[in-house]
Structure 1
Amino acid sequence: MTDQKHTEGNQWAVILAGGDGQRMKPFIQSWLGYPKPKQYCAFVGERSMLQHTWDRADRAGHSENQVTIIDKSHNQEIFRQMETHTKGRIVIQPRNCDTAAGIFLALAYINHWDPKAIVTIYPSDHFIAPQEQFTKMIKETVSAVTRLKERIILLGATPNSPEGEYGWICPGHPLIRNAGFPVRTVKEFIEKPDQKTIQTLSRNGGIWNTMIVTAYGSRLWSLGELWCPDMMELFHQLRKVIGLPQESLTLERIYQAMPQRNFSKNFLERIVSHLATIELQGVLWSDWGRPERIIETLGFLRKKPAFPLPQMAS
């Protein structure tokens, strides 16, 4: 990465594409005949999940201000997929240390370039439709952050099953209404709860965590310093040398000591009093973490998958 000059106070997108999609690996291997992280796959049509995520960030107004986090093993694939996408910057992690490291690595650069940045975090391997309504909700979430400057706002999805592989949010009382969308406090945030807990959450109006998060970058950073001090000390070392000759070597060095931390489990669960949530309205969302979810979504939309349906038997 090279140092950049930006106007302060811009909207930024962090696009997380550093994972290997372990749950989908056997399915993709059987389908394609070789391993490929799911964010680089086109399960319907010709565009990959990552390319669709870039499109969402473009529509939401992030434009050039995008930082995509990848693993160094993804180099060849990412640059093939960038042929039609020239916006933003790619940051290559020396190794995958889970979602907290990926997010705070992106924030190290964004906060250096733009200390007043408003950041939206997008997982690159989720299905979302329709795009127009989703874009509207992202813009309203950004607007809500400008009014609730200390809050980390999570987009939640209305559950249609007792899903134990998602994080769950238990919304509290309304803080504000933003263009008709209520912004609520968060009473509880539980990553991948057991079925008994899910039953309780469902009775209390619990919603799924989509991992789409909007906040001031500086606010996320300060909370990271409080709850993940060992990780943040390493990223402080990187921030000091961004744009200098030793930047690349410093990035390699700090990742040798980087702890494995999950952003939801090891961060969001600890900062519940700082969270707020907006529930998606008129938007279909799924993480497509299992083949069955892909088939269910495409069947609902009456779309033909890019893989043969007998593949489901694999």
Structure 2
Amino acid sequence: MARWLVILAGGRGERFWPLSRVMHPKQFLTLVGERSMLQSTRDRIASVIDDQHTFVVTGMDYVEKVSQNLPEVPRTQILGEPRGCNTAPSIAWAAELIYRQDPEAVMLVLPSDHVIQRADRFRALAMRALAMAEEHGGFYTFGIVPTHPETGYGYIEHNGSAFSQPDVMKVARFVEKPPRDVAERMVESGRFYWNSGMFVFRAEEFLASVREFLPTLAQAIEVLADEPERQGEIFDELPAISVDHGIMEKAHQVYVLPAEIGWDDVGTFASLARLLPRDEEQNAVRGNAVFVETENVTAITDGPLLSFVGVKDLYVVATHDAVLILGPDRSQDVRKVVQALRDNGNHDHLL
């Protein structure tokens, strides 16, 4: 029974424009540390699962870029999707190919664009979940212990310990991104975790659940594995559904491991700003910037020097050809800029 890693690397990262572009999205950016988000994801689990047991699912246009980032991963195990269909089809495709090589395989599924500051603790939890899946079967996820009533994350409610183990909890339900008052009550109750989107399960069990809950997807994935040359035709017909909605919310035997691992999904410039060190005036910089009588400004530049005089409460992001100036509560709205550029036919600043 081998252990396999599947990295999901298909996102577009529109909320990180202008750093993130169509041909260089978020997972290939170096936002924290010295390695790309994708490389950091692979690095933190390298001592647990080797490159030969690693699959990456990405967009067809990014296969070469993934291979450049992770040259030791076999090229045949970098799966390029011609059309993004959310996470359930991505995981199912990898699971089918893994199962055909190793019918007893256990899989660890990780998004490619998370920051985990306590990598040692995460590795211990990952090994714990893998061992539980090998021994007991079932589906395992990592529930982030919430630090505040976040409205941008989904939540997982637990229903007491499982297997008489205090570090493994039974999942009662998944909850969509809640309004503020609901999030406050959930955090106060102590029964909820943030949904990290990271999973462990046996390939065989996952595929059985796909057949049970998403039979159309199951049939399509089997054909895809048999006839990969029909990829474009098959993906045109695949249902676009997340693994949470399609499988996890319906599956039997779902468990959550509480995780205090310094996790952040780094979905916006606001979340990135939380990870950057700050000076006495609460200014943060990645790149080269000068602050004069300035407070609570986050400056991110991959080239030009940024200078600030007498301002506060801003995010400013600069590349060689674009500048983004963002109010402190509007980091979710960067996609509106991307859409406006698209509507205006200004594709040069999107590529």
Q: What one-letter code is carried by the residue in structure 2 that aligns with 1:43?
A: L
Structure 1 position 166, deviation (Å): 1.5
TM-score of the pair, normalised by structure 1: 0.84
Partner of 1:4: none
Secondary structure of the residue aligned to 2:31 is coil
1:274 aligns with 2:284: no
State the alpha-carbon separation in 2 of the partners of residues 59 and 87 from structure 1. Answer: 18
**CA-atom RMSD in angstroms:** 2.4
Partner of 1:310: 299
Partner of 1:193: 178
Which whole-Å deviations, capped at 9, do the CAs of 1:50-83 have from their partners, x for residues lacking one?
0011112312234420110010121342233234
> Among 263, 272, 279, which residue is 1:294 paired with?
272
Structure 1 stretches (4+) deviating beyond 3 angstroms? 85-88, 302-309
State the alpha-carbon separation in 1 of the partners of residues 22 and 204 from structure 2. Answer: 41
Partner of 2:15: 23
Q: Superposed, which structure 2 residues align to 1:150-229 within 5 Å?
A: 151-176=138-163, 182-205=167-190, 206-229=192-215
Partner of 1:52: 40
Q: What one-letter code is carried by the residue in structure 1 that aligns with 2:265?
A: D
State the alpha-carbon separation in 2 of the partners of residues 287 and 211 from structure 1. Answer: 9
Tell me the number of residue pairs that the alignment of Structure 1 and Structure 2 aligns: 289
Moved more, 88-97 or 124-133: 88-97
Which whole-Å deviations, capped at 9, do the CAs of 1:183-236 have from their partners, x for residues lacking one?
110112113233343233223321111111001111111111111111111012
Aligned partners of 1:191 and 1:264 also within 8 Å: no
Q: Superposed, which structure 2 residues align to 1:108-127 within 5 Å?
A: 108-127=96-115
Aligned partners of 2:146 and 2:193 also within 8 Å: yes
Secondary structure of the residue aligned to 1:53 is helix
Secondary structure of the residue aligned to 1:310 is strand
Secondary structure of the residue aligned to 1:184 is strand
Q: Superposed, which structure 2 residues align to 1:117-156 within 5 Å?
A: 117-149=105-137, 151-156=138-143
Aligned partners of 1:190 and 1:269 also within 8 Å: no
Which whole-Å deviations, capped at 9, do the CAs of 1:251-302 have from their partners, x for residues lacking one?
222112111111123332233x421000113x100000011111112338x9
Secondary structure of the residue aligned to 1:208 is strand
Aligned partners of 1:191 and 1:269 also within 8 Å: no
Partner of 1:6: none
State the alpha-carbon separation in 2 of the partners of residues 288 and 71 from structure 1. Answer: 20
Tell me: CA distance 1:38–1:23, structure 2 relative to 1, closer, same or farther (3 Å): same
Aligned partners of 1:174 and 1:183 also within 8 Å: yes
> Among 224, 240, 243, which residue is 1:238 paired with?
224
Tell me: CA distance 1:58–1:201, structure 2 relative to 1, closer, same or farther (3 Å): same
More strand by share: 2
Aligned partners of 1:43 and 1:306 also within 8 Å: no
Q: What one-letter code is carried by the residue in structure 1 that aligns with 2:217?
A: M
Partner of 2:4: 12
Aligned partners of 2:67 and 2:73 also within 8 Å: no
Which whole-Å deviations, capped at 9, do the CAs of 1:132-170 have from their partners, x for residues lacking one?
221111111111222321x20010111112222212011
- Unmatched runs of 5 consecutive residues or more in structure 2: 290-297, 301-314, 317-324, 326-351
Higher relative contact order (CA 8 A, sep 6+): 1
- Unmatched runs of 5 consecutive residues or more in structure 1: 1-8, 242-246
TM-score of the pair, normalised by structure 2: 0.76
Percentage of matched positions with identical amino acids: 23
State the alpha-carbon separation in 1 of the partners of residues 118 and 173 from structure 2. Answer: 29
Larger-Rg structure: 2
State the alpha-carbon separation in 2 of the partners of residues 127 and 169 from structure 1. Answer: 20
Secondary structure of the residue aligned to 2:163 is strand
Partner of 1:93: 81
> Among 91, 94, 97, which residue is 1:106 paired with?
94
More helix by share: 1
Tell me: CA distance 1:95–1:307, structure 2 relative to 1, closer, same or farther (3 Å): farther
State the alpha-carbon separation in 2 of the partners of residues 13 and 154 from structure 1. Answer: 14
Secondary structure of the residue aligned to 1:135 is helix
Q: What one-letter code is carried by the residue in structure 1 that aligns with 2:25?
A: P
Q: What one-letter code is carried by the residue in structure 2 that aligns with 1:174?
A: S
